[in-house]
Amino acid sequence: MAAKTIFQRIVDREIPATIEHEDDLCIVFRDIEPQAPVHLLLVPKQPIPRVAAATAKETQVLGHLLVVAGEVAAKLGLGQGFRLVINNGPHACESVPHLHVHLLAGRQMTWPPG
């Protein structure tokens, strides 16, 4: 059995986190190394290694993450805008092999990213 990722350990409450939202499908918490004034991670409770490994059976949870992102952004008053980022693989700087969505806000974003 593979070792738990840091995100699974947060889901399992083995590591503390500042949780902004939790439901049956996902957990949303503050990033410990924020890249913007608001930097949240939306993590499915079901471990999916990365977007490229997702299958049709994960459609509900993937859509749910996007809906929750909008709800959490509204709750936090991020009406000026926010950015969602999903890294997939080493060239995208994926650092944890557990799918997660970054929600970044609280400053003007630039384009193109990266």
Decide: 20 and 76 in contact? Cβ < 8 Å: yes
Q: Which two tokens stand for residue 34?
A: 């924020």
Alpha helices in 1-114 (DSSP H): 6-11, 59-75
Q: Of 33, 35, 42, whose CA–CA distance to 99 is shortest?
A: 42
Decide: 85 and 102 in contact? Cβ < 8 Å: yes
d(CA 11, CA 32): 15
Q: Name the residues annotated as catalytic.
A: 100
Residue entry with tokens 């608001």: 38
